[in-house]
Amino acid sequence: MPKILITGTAGFIGFHVVNEFLLDESFQIFGLDIINDYYDVELKYKRLEQHGIYARDMQDRESFKSRIFSNYSFLKVDLVDYDFVVDFMLKEKFDYVVHLAAQAGVRFSIDNPRAYIKSNIDGFLSILEGSRFSQIKHLIYASTSSVYGLNTKLPLSEKQSTQHPMSLYAATKKSNELMAHTYSHLFRLPTTGLRFFTVYGPWGRPDMALFLFADAILSDRPINVFNHGEMVRDFTFVEDIAKAIRKISIKPAVEEKEWDSQTPVPDSSSAPYKIFNIGNNNPIKLDLYIYALEQAIGKVAIRNYMEMQPGDVPATHADTRSLENYIRYKPKTTVKEGVNLFYSWFKSYYSK
């Protein structure tokens, strides 16, 4: 049974990726998370409980076996603890690594830049070194559509430049892509970076728009609608993301034999390195996203239209052809379906 390490498993996307691999039943899964207090820690513990990991049993640096799944274990650890992480990966000898742990949030990075360097740069270095020394078969890591920054040519393609990020969060994720390429080139470590486009769904973060909107609508409070509702996003349902990650994980990046150093493209290399967009390829206006939530709740929102926020872009739209060709899979959950699934969970979890 192949062994896979998934970081950030108390987090939103990590939780769903663990679900996907547990459904497969052919992997021995190990989860890592620091469980920091960036948002409600209780929500993180509740996610872990769904997989049989309970806070009362958890110790730092001590792995704990799931009470529900025989093929799942968890370890609470800070990835910045370089020596411990590298030694742990050498000891466990994983076949695959899915690195999702990171400090998230565009706006939080404006006021808290050091948190992003620590988690997204130093933490990623620990994973790269552990992957290098333990000679894993494939490292998959989370990037973001935010790396496209000032680009306005839509749809956004992996072959476009990403030299103009608009937030430190985006800059750290761009740095991850550069760091991964270096390790792919120097040590032939197969790496694949995944640029997520506006992920939403059940068990999401409380600072995400859908959470804030649902809570405000139910409480008869106005919601802040930036760019006067004209913001366009390629909203992508989290379970579609998780399915794509499982398919990509067992298909390691390889050297592109036709890659030309005279006219280099940024999404592949003469090294075993790949970059993919993961989006729904069906962007809609923010106002329509809110309308889908209003329909799910059965209540109209009080809209407070505002200007664009610092670090935001007016539109995203993922060109997903490369991903579809590579794994023969395309995210397919509509916004209406996804928002309904989110609200069903939200209503149940918060007893609304």
Q: Provide the 10 A C-beta neighbour count for residue 242.
A: 23
Give which of 71, 66, 68, 92 is closest to 25, Cα–Cα: 71
Query: Tokens 């999702």 map to which residue?
Result: 100
Q: Which long-range contacts (CB under 8 A, 24 or more apart) does 20-25 make?
A: 20/239, 20/242, 20/243, 20/245, 20/246, 21/246, 22/51, 22/69, 22/71, 22/72, 24/246, 25/71
pLDDT at 284: 95
Contact 116, 29 (CB under 8 A): no
Question: Would you say residue 165 lies in a domain?
Answer: yes
**273 labelled catalytic:** no
- Catalytic residue, from 38, 116, 169, 200: name it: 169
pLDDT at 106: 77
Q: Provide the 10 A C-beta neighbour count for residue 307.
A: 8
10-residue block means of pLDDT along the chain (352 residues)? 96 97 92 93 97 90 93 96 97 97 84 91 98 97 95 95 93 97 98 97 95 96 91 96 96 95 95 97 94 97 89 89 95 95 96 76
Cα–Cα distance measured from residue 108 to residue 207, given in angstroms and rounded to the nearest whole number: 10
Q: For residue 132, how many C-alpha atoms fall within 13 Å in the half-sphere facing its CB? A: 16
Question: Would you say residue 147 lies in a domain?
Answer: yes
- First CA to last CA distance, the chain: 42
Question: Would you say residue 265 lies in a domain?
Answer: yes
Question: Would you say residue 111 lies in a domain?
Answer: yes
pLDDT at 352: 67
Query: Tokens 């592949």 map to which residue?
Result: 268
Question: Would you say residue 313 lies in a domain?
Answer: no
Question: Would you say residue 221 lies in a domain?
Answer: no
The CATH code of the domain that includes 39 is: 3.40.50.720
Cα–Cα distance measured from residue 296 to residue 346, given in angstroms and rounded to the nearest whole number: 11
What does the DSSP assignment read for 267-290? T--SSSEEEEEE--S--EEHHHHH
How many domains are contained in the chain? 1
Question: Would you say residue 137 lies in a domain?
Answer: yes
Domain span at residue 64?
Answer: 3-200+238-279+318-332
